Amino acid sequence: MRMYDLIKKKRDGGSLTKGEIDFIVEGFTSGQIPDYQMAALAMAIYFRGMDREETLNLTLAMAASGDMLDLSGVPGIKVDKHSTGGVADTTTLVLAPLVASCGVPVAKLSGRGLGHTGGTVDKLEAVPGFRAEISTEEFITNLKRYGIAVAAQSAEITPADRKLYALRDVTATVDSIPLIASSVMSKKIAAGADAIVLDVKVGRGAFMKDLAAARELARAMVDIGAAAGRATVAYITGMDQPLGLAIGNGLEMAEAIQVLKGSGSRDLVALCLELGSVMLVLGGRAKDKEEARQRLEDALYGGAALEKFRELIIAQGGDGRVVDDPSLLPRARYQEAWVAEGDVYLAFLPADKLGEIAMKLGAGREKKGDPIDPAVGIVLGGKVGDLIRKGQPVATVFANDREKLKQALAELKGCIVLSPDPVTPPPLVLEEIRG
């Protein structure tokens, strides 16, 4: 088999066989197939697409390219959750302990943030002492003992995807649905969970800018999950505006704690209850979504979810006192609010712009490996449709540099739109897609 012939086959619109895809993934992972040939193939796939079988075979080959976690020794149906990435998306921090406190083991390998979207691992590392880089052994031990483990994905898992994603990133071939679907699902399959709940974000702050594309991606991932024997459900949720109110790692951690204490952003709570109810049903802990929702609300408002979160933090070396006292989280030197000059409604909160402003404050990475500042970011005064009373903050900036603070405030004023008239809030959960 020659890589040249396989590139040509795909370029001309052919379908690659399982044997051909295995050859490509193995050769690329080991270094026998050079980057320039793989880049050409990625571009051919970008234009020609891949059918269901090819997408499945690519996923399985990438999943098998490195270590695969064996969670069979952990009792219960293990459920994983994945978001395609958004702004102020603190869902995992709330959902993982919430669902675990209801008896479903949550095994979550997570990435670091890139660009204007944050990563769960970065948010957890805002807690003093928290270790996200734990070994597979520790991950499984914690999962058995506490029913929850959240760790940074190691380099030994799906090396083929890691290499291919880096290549796609610099060759304008990221936004291809079969390549995204196989990339995400290869990691989920290698991570070993029995069931998977996907949150596919759509809107200006997300990968997928329109509903049709989001639906296609969700369908592709649900099909892969089903074919790979992992019950998979996908939700399509809005990401034109940030999900929660806080953007920035320590600030988002504080917001997650607030939600786990039974208050906090309405949309964040609503999404956690929706995704969580499916996780409980898939995990065999509730017969239907209604029963699941009741159990989740009991855990959220009764304090069990918060205690599970404390357990997670302590189990991975973090200071569990942050749960009672969020002021132990890193604090920015400067803080300034943009205050409403009269009663106004929030009309437009562009997630992409707000994510970029937070990134420039130091909350995110422009490129892989950049350091981040856990203390800085933005806290919004509300979500689209909310009324901000005169003298109340539209948004507050947290910074460690006065110039950056001034810049951020000016940019916020340039992109957030206020209205004297009531504004209808956009829907949050748009669709549910099942196998």
214 binds ligand URA (CB under 6 A): no
Q: Which of 78, 81, 116, 168 is catalytic?
A: 168
Number of shown-chain residues binding Ca ion (CB under 5 A): 1
Give the residue nearest to ligand URA (CB): 183
DSSP 161-201: HHHHHHHHHTTT-S--HHHHHHHHHHHHHHTT-SEEEEEEE
Choose among Ca ion, ligand URA, none what residue 232 binds, the Cβ cut-off being 5 to 8 Å by kind: none
Stretch that binds Ca ion, among 79-87, 263-271, 315-323, 359-367 (CB under 5 A): 79-87
Pairing of strands 195-202, 79-83: parallel
Reply yes or no on whether 5 is catalytic.
no
Q: Shortest distance, CB of residue 411 to ligand URA, whole angstroms?
A: 26
Reply yes or no on whether 116 is catalytic.
no
Q: Which of 65, 101, 183, 277 is catalytic?
A: 183
Subset of residues 82 to 111 that bind Ca ion, contact rule: CB under 5 A: 83
Stretch that binds Ca ion, among 48-56, 77-85, 307-315, 378-386 (CB under 5 A): 77-85
Cα 289 from Cα 310, distance rounded (Å): 26
Q: Which is nearer to Ca ion, 115 or 303 (CB)?
A: 115
Cα 199 from Cα 202, distance rounded (Å): 10
Reply yes or no on whether 201 is catalytic.
no
Choose among ligand URA, Ca ion, none what residue 165 binds, the Cβ cut-off being 5 to 8 Å by kind: ligand URA
Reply yes or no on whether 82 is catalytic.
yes
Measuring CA to CA, which residue among 223, 201, 192 is closest to residue 434?
223
Q: Write each residue from 148 to 187 as x if it is in contact with ligand URA (CB under 6 A), else as -, in one continuous string.
A: -----------------x--------x----xx--xx---
Q: What's the angle, vertex CA 227, arms to CA 226 and CA 233, rounded to 5?
A: 15
Q: Which is nearer to ligand URA, 55 or 183 (CB)?
A: 183
Q: Give burial (CB, 10 Å; 0-12/13-18/19+) of 220.
A: buried
Q: Shortest distance, CB of residue 435 to ligand URA, whole angstroms?
A: 20
Reply yes or no on whether 183 is catalytic.
yes
Amino acid at 54: E
Q: Which is nearer to Ca ion, 115 or 262 (CB)?
A: 115
Residues that bind ligand URA (CB under 6 A): 165, 174, 179-180, 183-184, 207
Residues forming contacts to Ca ion in the complex (CB under 5 A) are 83
Which residue numbers are catalytic?
82, 161, 168, 183, 187
